[in-house]
Structure 1
Amino acid sequence: MSLSYPTQENLNKAAFVLATIQNTYKLNLTKLADGVLNVSFKTPLNEHDCFAIGVTFAEEEKYHIAVVWLLEAFRRFNKTDGADELGANILNNLVYAYKMLNNIKEASFWLQQLLHAVPEHPQLKCKYLSENHPFLKLAPVKLEELYLGPDVYLFHNVISDREIEDINSVSKTRFKPCALFKKRKSAEYRLRLCDSTFLEDDIGSKTLIKLYRRVHDFTGMTVNYSEELHVVKYSVGGYYAPHTDFWRKTTSELGYEIQGNRLATVLFYVSVVEKVISNLIKDYVSVVEKLSSPGQGGATVFPHLGLNVYPVKGAALFWKNLYASGEGDLDTVHASCPVIRGSKMIMTQWINSIGQELSLPCSLKKEQGWRENLKLPILEKIMNTSKHVQIKRDMQNCRRYDSRKVFSRY
């Protein structure tokens, strides 16, 4: 006799049956969860059951019912059981459900409960980055932490309006439609809708040299073995479906055996979509919410992290794609939301793993990585053989090459 477990459909039906019974007979939820109707069934629901029911209603966008069951789950939650993860999940879903109900007061309250209940929950900070490179002592960079583990940072004011004009003038005549399709079952769908171009080194732009040096300054990583800057323009309706920047296949299969995989991503916001702000804003919370979101699409979202980043002109978004072991971090899956009005232009610098051996040494732990090793690369120590003299001279002149072209000389 085969054993079959309840399916998601079974859970959905059970949840809606309980909600119907409760609503029809105006039953007290606590008694219902205890198994008490007109008589006691002696089969109470525990915190896991109530949480599962609450999540089910939240997924069906019935948030007013979801919060009731999530509150009951939290009431039944026993902190002494050592189930800290369950408690954090209950609180996190309460924050989300209240936010979707536009109840900012309750969402803020439960967010504070979450921060206090999980002391190891990382506290995000804003600071001036002045270490890692001598130049930053003179011109520190504004760094905003958006997420920790994996780390997602936003560096503010790292590209000037003049440099943006130079990028626009170079790229506007070079744009070509992005043609990237992916098969899903028997159908084929468009993975992205945009125009793009690579800014090759043979352009000879001083702006590009400055940008390469600046990326090296605030990330502590060399771009000498990385791909060219990639400029992408999203017009109305333009988007990029969820994807990872690191290569899923082995680098040798893709012809990048010299450069390695994409270790990190620096995404410059060259332009932003238009903002629309309502005339009547009643309180401070709504002011912050309105001003911080464009409301016209174009956000960069990380679905696994629950993080969305709205474009900030002149800023650069940074995250690391690989673990210290070289394996890809699937939590870095990200997408570009469709633009509703105007257009959005970004410029991406993928930083490859080759060349980072001394600045980001491998760790014995898979997840240990980037924050502990954020130091100035000592690239000269790598160039200790005679055949690398020309490469070393190129690096000192702040020139950057496709490594396949460089090593073809020897």
Structure 2
Amino acid sequence: MLVLAKVTLAAALLFLAGQIQGELFTAQVELEPLFNTQETIVEAFETYLAREELRLKEIRRRLTPFIERGRREHQEVLNNPISAFLLVKGLTLDLDDLLTISDRRTNPLDLASKIAAMKNKYKFPSQEDLGGAATALTRLQETYLLEPKDMAQGYLYGHCCSMSLSAEDLFELGRQNYNQGDHDQTIAWMNEALLRYHQENQNGSIANTYRAISHADILEYLAFSTYQKGELVNAIKLTEQLLEMEPDHPRAGGNIGHYQKMITDRKGEDGGITDQTFTVREKRATQVGWEKAKYEALCRGEAQVVQNEAKCRYVHGGNLYLLLGPVKQEVVHIKPNIYIYYDVLFDAETKIIQELAKPRFKRATVHDHATGELVTAQYRISKSSWLQGDEHPVVDKVNRRISAITGLELKTAEELQVVNYGLGGHYEPHFDFARRDEKDAFQSLGTGNRIATFLFYMTAVEAGGATVFPSLDLTLWPRKGAAAFWYNLFEDGNGDTSTRHAACPVLLGTKWVANKWMHERGQEFIRPCKLSPTIVSDDDE
């Protein structure tokens, strides 16, 4: 809640207007009191100017982050999730606060009207974008076991330093997590917001008159989330602190009574842990199952097993393309065989493919198991587009290169999918092939299941963004110009469940990839079916 404690000049002058008496000019002695009137007028203006100076100083302070972000390289801002979050927050909540502090008038040329008109011409983030950005920071925190206190200072997994987070920024992260029902994260972020709030007040960096949040606001979220966790004693203590600050708080008194009754009903049991603190790693260990835990560990570079059979070689193949220019192949896993090919996509090609893809970007989708429809999902955050081979010579050349390297027929393959991952972009563990319970996943194509995946890494990623295979303890780190390749199906057509994989959240940098999915039809003589089937249980698929 933003409080503007302004004594308006108009109000002061209206008060003085009530004291006006006529015929003062008729006697000099009657003019003497006008000096008192004049002094009062000066005091009113001085008060007004002092508050205007404070208001203008606060507007300048809040505008400074906008100016500083504008001076930095755009990609530098976007490559760091903290500064990217602040960019989105700046053009939503922070902009609203700036307009509130500024003088809003009905004149069509005023500041608020000008900015409102800009929304018809320029892109502005929405409240959904703000929530998504906050969720992305929480996802990064959980996956990479980042402590909120470190993130508040701009530290990201040993990388320092982006712009630090203010008390208002931390409060917003806590509020967004509260809205999503994540009370652990609400408590973590609100505690940091409270610490930063005290630091900012101690340093005198922000005038209380213009605070977008108050000490009481933070305590209220902390107390209620603590209650939701079942920690009733702590919830009462926090609410009592809230009442000391705001004795007339509309909810605090009733909440204390409710918490005390719950303790009585539980015969004195608190119902939760009140005196222990945990690191993010300790908390995370109790929150996720084995696959999610393994996936996140592999994203951090932990738990990876390097096979002794792995080897590197030049592949010449049986076609003219590879005879003229053999490719560098690394076998990173045996059974299933997973390969990395190096230097198979060039910078000039990458630039053209990216430019072709950008105008067509749409939110990436997944198959709904129940309906077979394509839907968006929180476990896949990216945008993608599809490029046909005949629309540009570079796309055609890349397709022919894939066919030469893999030896597979591409006439029945899907178009080249180009993907750019967003803030904290990821894709949780999934199969590329359609399982038995998926309703008509590729029926419309008429080309059978996805037999193989060819994945180009179009950019290197500074931190995070790996491709991981939880069942194989395997992590593939993005390397610009390289590509990964594996078969999704056994030779008898059954799905190989060990190829279940994920795209880790992008921590720092930007991630572009391009996928080519080859299908069963057309591969009958290239990769013949085995006569004896692979035994795959329904549970496995």
| TM-score under structure 2 length normalisation | 0.40
C-alpha change, 1:123 and 1:179, in structure 2 (3 Å) is closer
Q: Is the 8 A contact 2:412 2:447 kept in 1?
A: yes
1:319 to 486, 492, 496: 486
2:101 equivalent in structure 1: none
User: Are 1:197 and 2:385 matched, yes or no?
Assistant: yes
**Which protein has the bigger helix share?**
2
User: Are 1:358 and 2:525 matched, yes or no?
Assistant: yes
Q: Is the 8 A contact 1:251 1:260 kept in 2?
A: no
1-structure distance, mates of 2:302, 2:393: 48
2-structure distance, mates of 1:328, 1:223: 20
SS, match of residue 128 in structure 1: strand
Which structure would you say has the larger RCO, counting Cα contacts within 8 Å and 6 or more residues apart? 1
SS, match of residue 336 in structure 2: coil
2:457 to 258, 269, 282: 269
Q: Is the 8 A contact 1:182 1:190 kept in 2?
A: no
Q: What is the aligned-residue identity percentage?
A: 38
How far does the alpha carbon of each residue in 1:95-146 deviate from its partner, in whole angstroms, 9 at most, with x for none? x9xx979xxxxx9xxx9xxx9xxxxx76111000012323212211100011
User: Are 1:144 and 2:311 matched, yes or no?
Assistant: no
User: Are 1:217 and 2:392 matched, yes or no?
Assistant: no
How far does the alpha carbon of each residue in 1:251-297 deviate from its partner, in whole angstroms, 9 at most, with x for none? 856424621110000000011222xxxxxxxxxxxxxxxxxxxxx11
Q: Aligned partner of 1:142: which letter?
A: K
Q: Is the 8 A contact 2:442 2:448 kept in 1?
A: no
SS, match of residue 173 in structure 1: helix
User: Are 1:127 and 2:294 matched, yes or no?
Assistant: no
How far does the alpha carbon of each residue in 1:352-375 deviate from its partner, in whole angstroms, 9 at most, with x for none? 11101111111234469xxxxxxx
Q: 1:5-404 counterparts in 2 under 5 A? A: 123-180=309-366, 190-201=378-389, 204-249=391-436, 254-256=442-444, 258-274=446-462, 296-366=463-533
Q: Is the 8 A contact 1:181 1:190 kept in 2?
A: no
Number of corresponding residues = 232
C-alpha change, 1:166 and 1:362, in structure 2 (3 Å) is same
1-structure distance, mates of 2:445, 2:358: 32
Q: Is the 8 A contact 1:164 1:270 kept in 2?
A: yes
1-structure distance, mates of 2:533, 2:315: 26
Q: Aligned partner of 1:298: which letter?
A: G
How far does the alpha carbon of each residue in 1:140-193 deviate from its partner, in whole angstroms, 9 at most, with x for none? 110001101001000111111111011011011211122448699xxx962201
SS, match of residue 529 in structure 2: coil
Q: Is the 8 A contact 2:442 2:449 kept in 1?
A: no
Q: Is the 8 A contact 1:194 1:234 kept in 2?
A: yes
Q: Is the 8 A contact 1:194 1:238 kept in 2?
A: yes
Q: Is the 8 A contact 1:246 1:321 kept in 2?
A: yes
SS, match of residue 357 in structure 1: coil
Q: Aligned partner of 1:173: which letter?
A: P
Greater gyration radius: 2
**Which protein has the bigger strand share?**
1
How far does the alpha carbon of each residue in 1:17-61 deviate from its partner, in whole angstroms, 9 at most, with x for none? xxxxxxxxxxxxxxxxxxxxxxxxxxxxxxxxxxxxxxxxxxx98
2:27 equivalent in structure 1: none
How far does the alpha carbon of each residue in 1:377-398 deviate from its partner, in whole angstroms, 9 at most, with x for none? xxxxxxxxxxxxxxxxxxxxxx
Q: Is the 8 A contact 1:181 1:189 kept in 2?
A: no
SS, match of residue 172 in structure 1: helix
Q: Aligned partner of 2:355: which letter?
A: S
Gaps of 5+ in 2: 1-280, 283-297, 371-375, 536-541
C-alpha change, 1:182 and 1:140, in structure 2 (3 Å) is same
Q: Aligned partner of 2:316: which letter?
A: S
2-structure distance, mates of 1:159, 1:267: 11
2-structure distance, mates of 1:331, 1:160: 31
C-alpha change, 1:179 and 1:212, in structure 2 (3 Å) is closer
1-structure distance, mates of 2:415, 2:449: 14
C-alpha change, 1:183 and 1:350, in structure 2 (3 Å) is closer
How far does the alpha carbon of each residue in 1:218-274 deviate from its partner, in whole angstroms, 9 at most, with x for none? 100011111101111112300001000001147856424621110000000011222
Q: RMSD of aligned C-alpha atoms?
A: 3.0
2-structure distance, mates of 1:159, 1:224: 21
1:67 equivalent in structure 2: none
